[in-house]
Amino acid sequence: MSEIWLIIWRFQPLHVGHLLLIETSLKETPATLVLIGSINKCDKDNPYSYELRREMILWEINDSKLSLWWLSDTPNDKEWVKQLISYIPKQVSVCKLYCGDKKLDSAVQSLLALKDTLDFQIEIIEIPRSIVSVSATDVRKWIQEKNHSKLNKYLKKNTLKILKEAS
């Protein structure tokens, strides 16, 4: 394996934009690594546990090319990148990192700052919000408001069921 696609998001919760990206990567690459971030946080922006978010992804996507792991927040970027690269197989020469906005994405900035220390090339690919215009912040608001028409548009049935059972 010389190439891997890397997706790092919090998935708070998993929505159709996340799914589109993961499904696209699974079609175009031999391996997709999804890292579920901020596993050690629980606040209004991070209301769902790692286990619940992992369950959402696995209920929606069943593909042997998909690897799912956790990624905790760390005190500094160097430790965070060290944790991240521990999941990337040694035979990988190119890692394609997908993000929404590379200027604002802390994962992108951390990797770019340390790219000279990596054993692989990093390629940053920006996914325009115009492809699927949704944010997890909006989805969390719609969950609070019980706005089922919006939720049915941006969350898959299995994810909705998991969230309902968790509340």
Whether the predicted pLDDT of 112 surpasses 90: no
What torsion do the CA atoms of 33, 52, 47, 151 make, to the nearest 10 degrees?
90
Give the tens place of pLDDT for each residue, 68-99: 999 998 888 888 888 998 999 999 999 998 88
Let me know: does 39 contact 70? Beta carbons within 8 Å: yes
- Residue 95 is classified by DSSP as E
Is CATH 3.40.50.620 the right assignment for the domain spanning 3-166?
yes
Tell me the C-alpha distance between 53 and 39, whole Å.
Answer: 10
Under the banding of pLDDT at 50, 70 and 90, the label for residue 65 is very high
Average confidence (pLDDT) over 112-133: 83
Q: For residues 58 and 16, what is the distance between their CA atoms, to the nearest angstrom?
A: 14
- At 104 the pLDDT is 75
With a cut of 80, say whether residue 102 has pLDDT above it. Answer: no
Mean pLDDT score, 110-123: 88
User: What pLDDT score was predicted for residue 1?
Assistant: 60
User: 126, 128, 154, 130: which is closest to 140 by C-alpha?
Assistant: 154
pLDDT per residue as tens digits for the range 6-47: 999 899 999 998 998 899 889 988 889 999 999 988 999 999
Q: What pLDDT does residue 35 have?
A: 94
Residue 129 has pLDDT above 80, yes or no: no
Instruction: Give the C-alpha separation, 131 to 37, whole Å.
Output: 23
